[in-house]
Amino acid sequence: MTEMQNLKVSDTGEVIQKLIQGLKEALECKLCQPSPTFASMTGDIKRGHYITSHYPPFFRTNDPNDKGIAIGETTARLFHSWYWDMITHEMREQYYQHVEQALNRLLDETKDFDPEVALLFAHYQTDFHIRQHHFSGRGILNFCRDADDMQQLRHWQWRLHDIDHGKPIDQNNTWPYGCNHTAWPGDENSEMPHAALLWKANVTVRQKHLNKIRAEWAIIMNERRKYREMVLRKQKAKDTITVRLYCRGELKDIRQMKRLTPVEVAYLAEKALQSPVGI
């Protein structure tokens, strides 16, 4: 295999591990109560965001915008069936248990669902939850340090949305034209409120990671300080000479004298000539 092929295999393996981690978190989650609508499922299917002929269905795309990307500059986002093969038997059983629970809820709420459509919707709800956990540690919200950062991010996205859609812009207006207190632009299936919930729940994890990074950075800065001090010592050693003063064979003093450049020697010589009593 070429070096590029090895890199692609390595990248694919890393992605697979992240997918499995997201699946594991979702299957063990007791916090989330995602409730995607039937309209969001049909919309994701139409947009090519939920492809039922592949697994995992949420992580492949037939987005028409992708066709404008140069093939030679991108890596194809392909996930093979062995992703499912790498999942343990216990995780598969847990997955189907979640699907069964979602299906029972749907059938209890209404009898108007076609059983096959209801089963598809149950799978969609389960996969939607898994998708939320997969992106919870990798989404744009992870750039936000606190709730104020998240609000500023949402406002910024709304301003871009208004510009793209030719909406009126009022520089003195704090709130963009289409913005309200909870909505995110382009969030047809209401993923962002669920992502925000997970973001708030992971505050302890983020703080722990931040403390780890700060500790590692402190070590790096300390090493840099030591290196600068060493460079300064070496530079100082080059710029000075050691003078030992003896009197009748006995060492009386040791002094560090600065090495003089030719310009400094000329200056001191001129100063000595001008001074009747010496320097």
Q: Determine the Cα angle at 137 with ends 132 and 143, to 5°.
A: 115
pLDDT given for residue 174 in this prediction: 57
Across the chain, what does the average pLDDT equal?
74
pTM (2 decimals)? 0.55
> What residue spans of 68-175 are helical by DSSP H?
82-85, 89-109, 115-136, 147-164
pLDDT at 62 over 60: no
pLDDT higher than 60, residue 56 = yes
The answer, yes or no, to whether the previous bond of 115 is cis (omega within 30 of 0) is no
Query: Between residues 217 and 5, which one has the greater pLDDT?
Result: 217
Name the token pair of 182: 């909870």
Point out the least confidently predicted range of 43-47, 58-62, 93-97, 245-249. 58-62
Q: Note the pLDDT of residue 5.
A: 40
Quote the Cα angle for 210-211-212, to 5°.
90
pLDDT of 264 higher than 80: no
> Mean of the pLDDT values across residues 214-237?
87
Distance CA 268, CA 274 (A): 10
Q: What value does the mean pLDDT take over residues 90-116?
A: 85
What pLDDT score does 178 carry?
Answer: 53
Would the pLDDT of 279 be above 60? no
DSSP symbols for 5-67? HHHHHHHHHHHHHHHHHHHHHHHH-SS------HHHHHHHHHTTS--TTSSSGGG----GGGG
Asked whether the beta carbons of 91 and 24 are under 8 A apart, the reply is yes
Helix (H, G, I), strand (E, B) or coil at 190: coil
> What element of type H or E holds 248?
none
Distances in Å between the Cα of 155 and the Cα atoms of 199, 213, 265 are 18, 29, 66
Whose CA is closest to 144, among 185, 183, 192? Answer: 192
How much is the pLDDT for 223? 94
Q: Sign (positive/negative) of CA torsion 78, 80, 86, 87?
A: positive
Mean pLDDT of 139-145: 77
